[in-house]
A and B are shown apart, each in its own frame.
Chain A
Amino acid sequence: MALRAARLLRFAEATGVTNRLLLTMSSPAESICISKPVDSVTVPGTEGTFTVTNNHSLIVSQLKPGVITVRDGSDNKDYFISDGFLFFNHPTDGSGCCTAEVSAVELVPTSALDKDRASTILSELLAAPKDTEWDRTKAALGAALVNQVIKAAE
C-alpha cells in the first residue's frame, strides 16, 4: 500500500504550474518522471553535451551514452542513458511551460552502475575474437558504451 502511494506521488502532475520546464524521462523498462517541473536538464547529445532550460529553442536531438543531470533548485540528480532522443517542445497552452521528453533505450540512476562489473565486461569485449563484421561492430559500440559507464559510475 505504501509502495503504491509512493509510486503515485512520483507521478503527481503539478497542476497550475507556470513557466517551468516539464521533464518526462522514460525507457521501455520504466518511466522515471512524467511532466515533472525542473529547472534544467543537461543531456549528452551526439554532437556534444548541452543543457536545456525553459524557453530553449525547439530541438530534436539524438543522444549518445552518457550522464543526464536533472537540476531542480539545489537538487541534482544524475542518470545514465545508453541511447535515445530528446524532444523539446514549446507550450501549446498558455502556461509557459516547455516540455522536454527524453525517450531512452536504457535509463538508470548512476548509483545503479557497477564499475567493477563494467571493467570486467570491457576486458571481455576487447579480448573477444574479431572475425566477423558483427564482432567488430559489437566490440566498438560496446567499448564506447562501457567506457561511458565506467566514467559515469565514479
Chain B
Amino acid sequence: MLIVPLSSDKGMCGSINSGVVREVRDFINQNNRNKIKILSVGDKGASGLARPFPDCMKLNISEVQSPINYPTVMAIGEHIVKMGEQSDKIIVYYNEFKSAISTIIRQMELMPRKQFLETLKFAKLYNQTRPDKNTSNPALYELYITSNLWLAFLNNAASEQSARMNAMENASKNAKEILEGLTLKYNQARQARITMELVEIISGASAL
C-alpha cells in the first residue's frame, strides 16, 4: 500500500497539516506497517510522519512551486506510479475545500498500473479503442492518475490558503485585543505615576 499525504511546506496554516498527519497515523496503526510505504508531498507532513514511521517513509517531495501547474503534477504522478507498482492500492490524503471556513480531510484511492489495465480488459463496451488497447491504455492510465492528483492538489492548495487566512485573521484579532488590554494598563500606570509625583510635590510644598 502506498500512502501519499499532501501537506504544505510552511506552517501557520491552522490544522490542515496536523489533520492529515493524524489520519495517516491512525490508518497505519490499524494496518500492517510492514506493507505500507509513504511518499509525502510537503515538509510539514514529512516531519510529522518521519518520527513515528521512519521505516515507512520512502520519499518526500518539498518546495513544490506555488501556484502549482499541471506538468509538475505529471512529474509527481510519475514518482507515485513508480513507487506504487507493487502495491495493491495508492491512497492520497488531502484537504477538500468545502468553503472559506470549512475543509474536510479526504482519502482518494487510486489503482496501481497493473490493476487499472486489468480493469480495462473488462471494458468490453468500447468495441473500438484507438490506437490499439496496448498503446492507448497506458496513456489513459497516466491521464487517470494525473487528473485525480490535479484535483487533490488544487483542493489542498485552496484549503491551505483559506486555513492560513483564517489563522492569520484570528491571530491579528487576538493580538489587537491584547494590545487594547495592555494600552489600558499602560495608561493606568502612567496616570498613577503622574498622580504620585503630584502628591509628592504637593506634600513637599505643603510641608514648607
Q: Annotate A18-62 by CB proximity to B: 1 below 8 A, 0 otherwise.
A: 000000000011000000000000000111000000000111111
State how many angstroms separate the Cβ of A28 from the closest Cβ of chain B.
4
Task: Let me know if A47 and B131 touch, CB within 8 A.
Answer: yes
Contacts of B126 on A, CB cut-off 8 Å?
A: 58-60
Closest A residue to B120 by beta carbon equals: A60
Closest B residue to A103 by beta carbon equals: B143
Q: How far is B124's CA from A58's CA once the two chains are assembled, in angstroms?
A: 10
Task: Let me know if A62 and B131 touch, CB within 8 A.
Answer: yes
Taking A28-B70, A28-B150 as contacts, is the C-beta distance between A62 and B128 under 8 angstroms? no
Task: Let me know if A60 and B70 touch, CB within 8 A.
Answer: no
Contacts of B178 on A, CB cut-off 8 Å?
A: none
Closest A residue to B129 by beta carbon equals: A60
Contacts of B143 on A, CB cut-off 8 Å?
A: 84-85, 103
Interface centre among A46, A58, A60, A105 (most CB of B within 10 A): A60
Enumerate A42-99 residues with CB–CB distance to B below 8 Å: 45-47, 57-62, 84-85
Task: Let me know if A60 and B127 touch, CB within 8 A.
Answer: no
Determine if B62 is an interface residue (Cβ-Cβ < 8 Å). no
Partner-contacting stretch, out of B34-42, B76-84, B102-110, B132-140: B132-140
Taking A28-B70, A85-B140 as contacts, is the C-beta distance between A62 and B130 under 8 angstroms? yes
Enumerate A119-153 residues with CB–CB distance to B below 8 Å: none
State how many angstroms separate the Cβ of B93 from the closest Cβ of chain A.
21
State how many angstroms separate the Cβ of B126 from the closest Cβ of chain A.
5
Q: Is the interface on chain B under 10, 10 to 19, 20 to 34, or 35 or more residues?
A: 10 to 19
Point out the residue from A60, A84, A103, A105 that lies within 8 Å of B130, measured CB to CB. A60
Contacts of B150 on A, CB cut-off 8 Å?
A: 28
Task: Let me know if A59 and B70 touch, CB within 8 A.
Answer: no
Contacts of B147 on A, CB cut-off 8 Å?
A: 28, 103
Contacts of A46 on B, CB cut-off 8 Å?
A: 130-131, 135-136
Contacts of B140 on A, CB cut-off 8 Å?
A: 60, 62, 85
Determine if B207 is an interface residue (Cβ-Cβ < 8 Å). no
Q: Annotate B55-76 by CB proximity to A: 1 below 8 A, 0 otherwise.
A: 0000000000000001000000
Taking A28-B70, A85-B143 as contacts, is the C-beta distance between A59 and B130 under 8 angstroms? yes
Determine if B202 is an interface residue (Cβ-Cβ < 8 Å). no
Q: How far is B129's CA from A9's CA once the two chains are assembled, in angstroms?
A: 34
Q: How far is B125's CA from A14's CA once the two chains are assembled, in angstroms?
A: 27
Q: Annotate B133-156 by CB proximity to A: 1 below 8 A, 0 otherwise.
A: 001100110010001001000000
Point out the residue from B70, B125, B127, B139 that lies within 8 Å of A62, measured CB to CB. B139
Task: Let me know if B127 and A61 touch, CB within 8 A.
Answer: no
Contacts of A105 on B, CB cut-off 8 Å?
A: 70
State how many angstroms separate the Cβ of B117 from the closest Cβ of chain A.
14
Q: How far is B145's CA from A103's CA once the two chains are assembled, in angstroms?
A: 13
State how many angstroms separate the Cβ of B66 from the closest Cβ of chain A.
16
Task: Let me know if A59 and B131 touch, CB within 8 A.
Answer: no
Q: How far is B163's CA from A123's CA once the two chains are assembled, in angstroms?
A: 46
Query: What would 5 A/B residue contacts be, using CB atoms closer than 8 Å?
Result: A28-B70, A57-B127, A57-B128, A61-B129, A103-B147
